Structure 1
Amino acid sequence: MPIFLEAKLLVWLSPLHRESWLWACPELEEKPYAIVPSPIDPSQFYDMKLPREGVICVTSLFEFKGRKNVLQWARDHPGQEITCAGGNPLPNEPLPPNCRDVGQISPWQVNETYNKHKAFLHLPATPQPFDRTVSEAYLAGCDIIGNKLIGALSYDWFKSREEVAEHCGNSSKLFWEKIEEVLND
């Protein structure tokens, strides 16, 4: 905690990220801060106009990313085919019959993989600072099936793909502007 209290600037990845920390450490309320989204290159995530079907989740089979929530959602929606990418840390625990584990996806196939699916499923069990996969999938044209624990969704501007592209695409610039302000004080 001392490192936070002595920091010249606290950088949060989303409003939810900051709120979660303030709930646990209210003494951070008065510290200077910036809220800067995770940087995403919007030219890498776009709608390719491919035929779409089913739902995809990425890294959601990890416990802290909402494994139980995702598997319950799958059981509650047996008619939805769900592609699970990013690894399964419990391969001996059977998945519902409508889930298919495809393992890791190479980075250059991620946009195309999103584009083959109608929706992106992410139901974390704990507050997540940002969850960039949600923004990537959204930019690629997926509808989002999520909950209130996704940092990216706590931004007021997460309403249109254009705004998400603008804010995430300019976040590196914003980050360095905030750092420069602190260094120049």
Structure 2
Amino acid sequence: MKINYVAYLDPFHFNGGGEMIMNDLLSHAKNTGYEVSMTSIRPFQKNYHKDADLTILCDIFNEPTLSKKFDLSFIENIVVNDKYIHFDNSYVDTCDLAYLPCNGNSQEKCEHKSLFNLKSNIQRKTISTKCYQSNELIHKIYRNSIANIFLSPLHYTKVSQMLNIQGRPHFILRPTVDTEKFNNKNQERDIEYIFAGAISEAKGVEKLKEYFKGTDKKLVMIGKNIYGEELSFAEYTGFIPYEEMPKYFNRAKNFIYLPRWPEPQGRVVVEAALCGCNLITNENVGATSFDFDISNKENLSGAVEEFWEYVCTKMKEN
């Protein structure tokens, strides 16, 4: 099978959560014998083959504030003429603001845009205050695909409600975390609370402040602090290599994550659960919206193979 992969970021060059998932899926495809051609903005490469059996569009507007973007005519030509699936790792193809500030409660006029927000308007290269979903191409991308792929039931619910695509074929990918690396060592735990990820407003700093207010509890925080304020209850580790994360999770009793935005999945939540952490979360965590226990590795087994079986079935139907 010949596959075109079109995304803003090449998942073999970047290692964000979404890119790690796509790396898992595309590596399996290559190992199966599929021919995968990459087209991306970062790094720039265009290897699009018109004779491919399938195109995967994934997070094509991933960095809406950066100057380099896909030519919209290129994307529209795929959407109109080619057989493709659309893959969401976030909400970047439905919103041109970071971390979905409306939490999916979109309106025709975006309350988070302003004619007077000069910095944002320069970054977006527009003074429009309309919701990004007013762009008809966004709706075409989701309507014309043979299937839309999401990372959790919560993720699907949010996007389908925003775009009114509840009737469209879709697939919810189970977490693809390596359970050989992330597992419970059943050892003594010396960290009471731990958090890992970008330390930011969207990732729940305000909720963490509320949780730890008036207590003497300490929270070990792993990740880059982009919040702009040091938290009195936090013990910052700085950068920790990904390979070391299972060790930290196996030292922690509780993994706490209380995001403001509807986290599409939260791969780190699954990793912590597999390592035996008790999860302290809220309703905005995609990973905990599945109807199975994410700490049980058997429930994650075969996720990658299941995805490709679904894709092959949809291709035969279309």
TM-score computed with the length of structure 2 as normaliser: 0.53
The answer on whether the counterparts of 2:176 and 2:304 sit within 8 Å (CA) in structure 1 is yes
Of Structure 1 and Structure 2, which has the larger fraction of its residues in strand?
2
Matches within 5 A, 1:68-107: 68-76=206-214, 78-91=215-228, 93-96=229-232, 98-107=233-242
Whether the aligned pair in 2 keeps the contact of 1:60 and 1:67 (CA below 8 Å) is: no
Give the distance between the partners of 1:166 and 1:79, measured in 2 at CA.
38
CA RMSD in angstroms, aligned pairs only = 1.5
Between the aligned partners of 2:300 and 2:205, the Cα distance in structure 1 is 27
* Structure number with higher relative contact order (C-alpha < 8 Å, ≥ 6 residues apart): 1
Size of the aligned set, in residue pairs, is 178
Matches within 5 A, 1:1-185: 1=138, 2-26=140-164, 28-52=165-189, 53-59=191-197, 61-76=199-214, 78-91=215-228, 93-96=229-232, 98-158=233-293, 161-162=295-296, 165-185=297-317
- Greater fraction helix: 1
Report Cα offsets for 1:80-100 as digits up to 9, x if no partner.
221000111135x1312x311
- Offset from partner CA, 1:86-124 (integer Å, 9 cap, x none): 111135x1312x311112211111000011110000001
Secondary structure in 1 matching 2:221: strand
In 1, Cα distance between the equivalents of 2:230 and 2:266? 26
State the Cα deviation string for residues 6-64 of structure 1 (Å, max 9, x = none).
Answer: 111011111101111122122x1111011112311111111122221311001252221
Between stretches 6-15 and 82-91, larger displacement belongs to 82-91
How big is the shift at 1:65?
A: 1.3
Distance between the aligned counterparts of 1:87 and 1:80, measured in 2? 21
Runs of 4+ in structure 1 displaced over 6 angstroms?
Answer: none
Are the aligned partners of 1:84 and 1:101 in contact in 2 as well (CA < 8 Å)?
A: yes
Give, in angstroms, the shift of residue 134 of structure 1: 0.7
Unaligned 5+ segments in structure 2 are 1-137
Residue type matched to 1:82 in 2? L
Contact 1:36 1:175 in 2 (8 A): yes
1:124-180 alpha-carbon deviations (Å, 9 max, x no partner): 10111110111100000000000010001111103x622xx2233321111111111
Normalising by structure 1, what TM-score? 0.90
Q: Which residue identity lines up with residue 80 of structure 1 in the other structure?
A: K
3-state SS in 1 of match to 2:235: strand
Partners of 2:230 and 2:213 in 1: CA distance = 12
Unaligned 5+ residue runs, structure 1? none
CA distance in 2, matches of 1:80, 1:147: 19
CA distance in 2, matches of 1:48, 1:80: 25
